[in-house]
Structure 1
Amino acid sequence: MPTRTEARADGPPLFGPGSQFDALFDDPRWALAMVRATVLEAAHPQIGAALTDNSTFVAHPWRRLRNTFLSMRRMFGADEEVRRREAARLNRLHARMAGSDALGRPYDAMDPGARAWVTATLFESAVTMFRMSGQPMAQETMERLYAEFLAFHASMGDGPGHLPEELHDFWPYFDRTVEEVLADTEAARVILYRLFDHLPVPALLSGMPTLWAAGRSLAGPVIGTLTVASLPESYRRRAGLPETPGARTLMQGAYVAAGLARFLPDGWLRAEAVIELLSLSPESDDPRVRAVTGLHERVKRAGALLRLVAPFAPAGGEPGPVPAAGGPARTGGTEEGVRRSAEEFFREVLDQTGDGYLDWPDLAAMARELATRLDLDEPEETRLYQAFADWWRELQTALDTDGDGRISAGEYAVAVPSLAGPALVRVAEVLFDVTDANGDGTIDADEYRALFRTAFHRDDSAAGGTYTRAAFVRDFLSFMSARRRTTTYDPLLADG
């Protein structure tokens, strides 16, 4: 007799086309549901502590979003081998996230109860999104979706007993966890009140920072308010979250409006395609980037024409020059200028978690992002992590002058001229080896795009359109030691 996590031969599939989740993935309402689920995950003390210490969702939210959607697509896809491989990758990633929170309480990203809660929030938020849209799920549909999420949870390798096997037992479990486990964590507060107000411009729109900032200043508080209104009332009350008058009505209206977008022509709102487009570098040779770049140029020309027609400067004078996106401010060659450039590099590249310091979770996040881009398996992934771990020990020995186990921007800026030590050279060499997928001793155009997600622009490399080991190591060292910022390397670790 088949279990709840096995597809029946005469029933709908649990994964891939024809599954309930596959129909949800490109539903515009799913974006709102994902934000809600993420807050509920972050409110779990174990998950919240792991996010605070290890996640890049504050400093690099677009990257985190893209990787999350890609992972979910793999985990809910029809190919069993792809699911197995992705589950193994996620388990390796989570196994590296353990420690203690600010109060000394231990956390472990492999904790089975916490992992079950992640699955529970995704399922419950999907059900809530339909209810908020005025289209409650039919019982049969809900049962199918719950069976799919149970199968997803089982595919991660977690044994039974952490999630109820039957849907009617799920709701008491969910309410009990909300009442007895969830807390007003720092991670949940950051998502609600900081993330959307400071959301960085996506790579593709980096040439329009003013327009992005204006839209963000309006949308950020609204998204936070809508998300708060959608959370369980008991959690809102215990966490002291404000109840804005009319927010629940506005929230339901947002779900209804997002639901209407699903009637657009097929392909217009494919979630994966939209996120992939926003993540592309302006230097990419993707034809979609050229279209956006052309639109940007027309906007710039229209702005220039407007300034000619209305020559009077606004009150407060003409704004000063803005540094080019992705590059350091032009501060000259003075000692103060070098220090300011180093501190900017520290903030944009090295401080991956956005907490103001450099420590092991920041370098682990770099290794994680590079391994994800290159889709590495063992043992290449472990080699890359080990190289970054060795670099962290070298940095800690050289720069942690006060012995607090982390490096401040000031400590880094003082020592920036001497950062390209043997361990960083080893990182560059290992990264070259794992990028060179065919092992021919060079990085070709396809391997280059896998790492940089942009066109091949190596005019000064070896003949034949390849990137040699010596050239790669030299450029990587120049970038990671803050000696030279480039439009090629900036998107590697500095993109939002």
Structure 2
Amino acid sequence: MVNVHAEQRRSSDYFRFDKAQVTHRPPASAGPRPGESGRAEMPSIADATDTIGALAGAANVILQLSWPAIGWGVRESTQDGNIYYHPMRRARTTFQYLAVATTGSDEDKRKYRREVTRIHSRVRSGAGSPVEYDALDPGLQLWVAACLYIGYEDAFEWLYGKMTDDEREHFYQSAHVLGTTLQVSREQWPESRDAFDDYWYEGAKQIRFDPQVREHLLGIAALRMLPQPATMLFGKVFSWITFGFLHAEFRDALDVPWTPKDQRRFNATLKALAALNRTLPLPIRQIANRVLLVDLRLRVKLGKSLM
């Protein structure tokens, strides 16, 4: 039977995962893979937990919020959950969730999932909301987890080189924790990397940035939530890096400029960063995850809030 979606992907340069025509992918490094031998035989999601990969964090937020129900849910969040009011707290909780999901223990995952559920139970659309949303909706959370997966896959190939099909499948199968640490069941995670392609292709049809959500996201890219002079000094270059990490279909939907010259400069920047990253010992490259897990366990021990 012909896979219609696969045929559409082969004939279109819209879809990011088309093997013949990729609209955007960070340039792959020629560096060694993580592991004692310098290359992991079969990489897993934990191998992509590299501190320098956090540079793509804002771009991944844009991917996640590209569905209107998610974008408006975050845009209308209360002060406690709004990055413009608590940028450091929001950054910590987001990256701590990722640390727990990718390298935390089963007990870490259980505790963090319970806390995420508690917080998300408060996030629902109101009478005046432009769209209906519920942060506990597994369908919305699956899209968030899928976007996180794409971020990790991109980061791994940027830093360590393109994966083979077998390596990519193994990498993908290890990544269901990105969803199951939320409210996504293991059965909801697409069964294979090819099935994920189909899910992503359908999900991309829902990409839409309403003006208010777009402004919210452009502000994050420009670091407007930080006090001066940080925004003035770093906002422009951080926006450029963020837009570079976006896949073309998201960048087009967000209506941000990106030229062939920008792409060449971005490719060169990533190549240099990957080369620099390879000079660092693995414990240093993964230090952010280690610190975040220590902080989590200390908060649990002291009875402090995880969020």
Pairwise same-fold verdict (TM > 0.5): yes
Contact 1:41 1:121 in 2 (8 A): yes
Which of the numbers 235, 242, 260 marks the counterpart of 2:275?
260
In the alignment, structure 1 residue 23 sits paired with structure 2 residue 47: yes
Deviation, structure 1 residue 169? 1.6
Identical amino acids, percent of aligned pairs: 21
Task: Give the structure 1 partner of residue 152 of structure 2.
Answer: 126
In the alignment, structure 1 residue 73 sits paired with structure 2 residue 102: no
Map of 1:4-15 to 2, 5 A cutoff?
none
Cα distance change, pair 373–102 in 1 and its aligned pair in 2 (3 A): farther
Task: Give the structure 2 partner of residue 138 of structure 1.
Answer: 164
Cα distance change, pair 75–274 in 1 and its aligned pair in 2 (3 A): closer
Q: Distance in 2 between matches of 1:87 and 1:243?
A: 38
Deviation, structure 1 residue 23? 2.2
Q: Which amino acid aligns with 2:268?
A: G
Question: Residues 317-361 of structure 1: CA distance to partner in whole angstroms, max 9, x if unpaired?
Answer: xxxxxxxxxxxxxxxxxxxxxxxxxxxxxxxxxxxxxxxxxxxxx
Task: Give the structure 1 partner of residue 191 of structure 2.
Answer: 165
Task: Give the structure 2 partner of residue 367 of structure 1.
Answer: none
Q: Which amino acid aligns with 1:46?
A: A
Task: Give the structure 2 partner of residue 379 of structure 1.
Answer: none
In the alignment, structure 1 residue 36 sits paired with structure 2 residue 59: yes
Q: Which has the larger radius of gyration?
A: 1
Deviation, structure 1 residue 165? 0.9
Q: Distance in 2 between matches of 1:46 and 1:92?
A: 19
Task: Give the structure 2 partner of residue 446 of structure 1.
Answer: none
Task: Give the structure 1 partner of residue 288 of structure 2.
Answer: 271
Cα distance change, pair 243–106 in 1 and its aligned pair in 2 (3 A): same
Extract unaligned runs of 5+ from structure 1: 1-17, 202-208, 280-370, 377-434, 438-449, 452-492
Deviation, structure 1 residue 99? 1.4
Contact 2:45 2:152 in 1 (8 A): no
Question: Residues 225-246 of structure 1: CA distance to partner in whole angstroms, max 9, x if unpaired?
Answer: 2322332323333332222452
Map of 1:67-466 to 2, 5 A cutoff?
67-77=93-103, 79-100=105-126, 104-132=130-158, 135-159=161-185, 162-178=188-204, 180-185=205-210, 186-200=212-226, 213=229, 216-244=231-259, 246-262=261-277, 263-269=279-285, 270-272=287-289, 374-375=299-300
Q: Which amino acid aligns with 1:120?
A: A
Q: Which amino acid aligns with 2:49?
A: F
Give SS of 1:99's match: coil
Contact 2:45 2:174 in 1 (8 A): yes
Contact 1:133 1:252 in 2 (8 A): no
Cα distance change, pair 26–226 in 1 and its aligned pair in 2 (3 A): closer
Q: Distance in 2 between matches of 1:126 and 1:160?
A: 19
Aligned length: 259
Q: Distance in 2 between matches of 1:117 and 1:101?
A: 24
Contact 2:113 2:182 in 1 (8 A): yes
| Structure 1 stretches of 4+ moved >6 Å | 273-276
Deviation, structure 1 residue 102? 5.8
What is the root-mean-square deviation in Å for CA atoms of aligned residues? 3.5
Deviation, structure 1 residue 103? 5.1
Give SS of 2:133's match: strand
Question: Residues 364-394 of structure 1: CA distance to partner in whole angstroms, max 9, x if unpaired?
Answer: xxxxxxx999549xxxxxxxxxxxxxxxxxx
Deviation, structure 1 residue 117? 0.7
Cα distance change, pair 57–138 in 1 and its aligned pair in 2 (3 A): farther
Extract unaligned runs of 5+ from structure 2: 1-41
Task: Give the structure 2 partner of residue 50 of structure 1.
Answer: 73
Q: Distance in 2 between matches of 1:373 and 1:106?
A: 37
Cα distance change, pair 251–134 in 1 and its aligned pair in 2 (3 A): farther
Q: Which amino acid aligns with 1:271?
A: A
Cα distance change, pair 249–238 in 1 and its aligned pair in 2 (3 A): same
Question: Residues 190-236 of structure 1: CA distance to partner in whole angstroms, max 9, x if unpaired?
Answer: 233455342425xxxxxxx7xxx2x6424311221232233232333
Contact 1:37 1:122 in 2 (8 A): yes
Contact 2:56 2:245 in 1 (8 A): no
Contact 2:98 2:178 in 1 (8 A): no
Q: Distance in 1 between matches of 2:217 and 2:291?
A: 22
Q: Distance in 2 between matches of 1:118 and 1:110?
A: 12
Give SS of 1:198's match: coil
Query: Which structure ranks higher in relative contact order (CA pairs < 8 Å, sequence separation ≥ 6)?
Result: 2
In the alignment, structure 1 residue 64 sits paired with structure 2 residue 90: yes
Give SS of 2:62's match: helix
